Amino acid sequence: MGWIKLIVVSAVGVYSYRSVSRVNQLVRQVGVPSKTLLGKYNSQTTNRYKEYKDAYKIALPPRYRLLKNTGSVDELFVYDFARNFFTSKVFSSFEGPCLEILSKSQPDRQVLEYRAFKFKVGDKVMVWKVISRENNEILMKWEMGNLSGTTWFYIPSDENVLVFGSSFLVPRENYTEEKQFKSEPKKLYIDAARTLPDELPSRAKVKSILLKAVFSIITPIHRLYSKYLLLSTYNKIIKQEERKDPRKNM
């Protein structure tokens, strides 16, 4: 969730330069493929809102490629990816507690303890609900009050990587001005010289500037936090595997 990520990362100005450099080296931002669940997803955008989407990937150790598409019990499936995301250190330390405070209740994460829970369409985890599913993709929608967005987990069949993405609505910067100039087009065309203001109303200008400033701050914070979430999920997957087979830690 973009706004929770702003709260979280702002509160934790904790990460050192070395930590940020490391996460930027390991996790790369990528384009959202148009044929994926996130690429095809579109919420009900309006003249006031547009949809923001992004995605990030991290490379897996070579041994995962050998197991891919084999059906082996040691293969990494997309539901394992999603499960480890919601139980990762970063999510459990920051976003989970934030949700608990904001919702004034204990987030329901018990379902994650059941191995039979495979993130099927309709399944719920806290404020998330699975809205679309493929063998190697899970798309979940979150809602809290009037805010909503999506969280996406993807293991490409042609790459040995984990891909994590999201989407949410952001206000259009020029909505106020557009609404004003489009409300009475015929009249504006006829009486343009008489009715069009020489400059935009000060209130509309201020609103546009504030929106631009807010999202210029939120977007890089959201991107950095998304990278930390993916790296934390990756670390949990690797450690979990090493506990099962200590030889992999040698």
**Residue 42 predicted with pLDDT over 50:** yes
pLDDT per residue over 94-131, tens digit each? 888 888 777 665 556 778 888 889 999 999 999 899 99
Token representation of residue 248: 């992999």
Q: What is the mean pLDDT of residues 19-27?
A: 92
Tell me, what's the pLDDT at 97? Answer: 83
Q: What DSSP state is assigned to residue 171?
A: E
Top pLDDT among 50 and 172 is at 50
- The residues facing 56 across adjacent strands are 29, 164
Express as a percent the part of the chain with pLDDT over 90: 45
Output the average pLDDT for the chain.
Answer: 80
**Residue 233 predicted with pLDDT over 70:** yes
**Residue 55 predicted with pLDDT over 60:** yes
The gap from C-alpha 222 to its chain's centroid, in whole angstroms, comes to 8
Q: Which domain holds residue 123?
A: 2-249
**Residue 237 predicted with pLDDT over 90:** yes
Tell me, what's the pLDDT at 216? Answer: 74
**Residue 136 predicted with pLDDT over 60:** yes
pLDDT per residue over 210-226, tens digit each? 766 777 788 888 999 99
Tell me, what's the pLDDT at 66? Answer: 87
SS3 of 120-156: the string is CCCCEECCEEEEEEECCEEEEEEEECCEEEEEEEECC
Tell me, what's the pLDDT at 83? Answer: 96
Quote the CA–CA distance of 246 and 244 in Å, as a whole number.
6
Q: Which spans in the chain are helix H?
A: 2-11, 17-26, 37-40, 62-67, 78-86, 89-90, 96-103, 175-182, 185-190, 192-195, 202-244
Residue 147 CB burial class (10 angstroms; 0-12, 13-18, ≥19)? middle
**Residue 90 predicted with pLDDT over 60:** yes
pLDDT per residue over 2-21, tens digit each? 555 555 555 444 457 778 88
Tell me, what's the pLDDT at 193? Answer: 47
What's this model's pTM, rounded to 2 decimal places? 0.78
Provide the number of structural domains found in the chain.
1
Q: What DSSP state is assigned to residue 30?
A: E
pLDDT band at 156 (very low <50, low <70, confident <90, very high): very high
